[in-house]
Homo-oligomer: A and B are copies of this chain.
């Protein structure tokens, strides 16, 4: 019982969902950009904006997820359309987590407020933030363009993100060991680095969904990980 009217209604629903995903993605990228600024510049007002923005992101994501589920119930999609709705659900979840990580990064601006900046690591954090922001943008572009090559490139770049994290981890340790007054700031910045690394993982997860969407197969789950934050040998007191 093919009915052009029904198919085009379904297509409109799918297009609307895709637009929402793009919108949530843009919100997540903006949140990340503002969050790292708020954190490194100890800007509490900007941090408050990120928090408010995250509420909006969460609401849009919940609405989109619900609309997708309802579409499944209404249209009982199969094959490519089913893969699309499944991928959308996964991508939405990844983006919601990215928003949360950004909010947590911004929140640290308050805890870091009284502390001097650890200039070397601030630069490294900013670079890492720009890098994972780029991964996120590329993953979303890959989704909108159904671009498997771009998705694979995002997945490959996650190894570099892990290396940046390891590097930051070690750098922060040296600041903390040099001077106990750096320990608290070092702690919070460690968490920021970890959140950035997790955003990179999420961008990678989105890219994997793109590959699933286009090819019907998830890429091999065991992608190389390089979180080698093993401790240096303790120095004598």
Chain A residues within CB distance 8 Å of chain B: 66, 69, 72-74, 76-78, 82, 85-86, 89, 93, 110-112, 114-115, 169, 173, 176-177, 179-181, 183-185, 187-188, 190-191, 194, 229-235, 237
Contact A82/B93 with A184-B231, A230-B111 known, Cβ cut-off 8 Å: no
Cross-chain contact of A73 among B73, B114, B173, B231 (Cβ < 8 A): B73
Complex CA gap A31/B111 in Å reads 32
Chain B nearest CB, measured from A150 CB (Å): 25
Q: Are B237 and A181 in contact (CB under 8 A)?
A: yes
Secondary structure of the A contact surface, majority rule: helix
Number of copies: 2
In the complex formed, the residue of B with least CB distance to A185 is: B231
Cross-chain contact of A69 among B72, B191, B233, B235 (Cβ < 8 A): B72
Q: Are B183 and A176 in contact (CB under 8 A)?
A: yes
Complex CA gap A49/B234 in Å reads 28
Contacts of A85 in B (CB 8 A): 69
Chain B nearest CB, measured from A85 CB (Å): 8
Chain B nearest CB, measured from A110 CB (Å): 7
Complex CA gap A125/B188 in Å reads 19
Q: Are B232 and A184 in contact (CB under 8 A)?
A: yes
In the complex formed, the residue of B with least CB distance to A183 is: B176
Contacts of A187 in B (CB 8 A): 169, 173, 176, 187, 190
Chain B nearest CB, measured from A236 CB (Å): 9
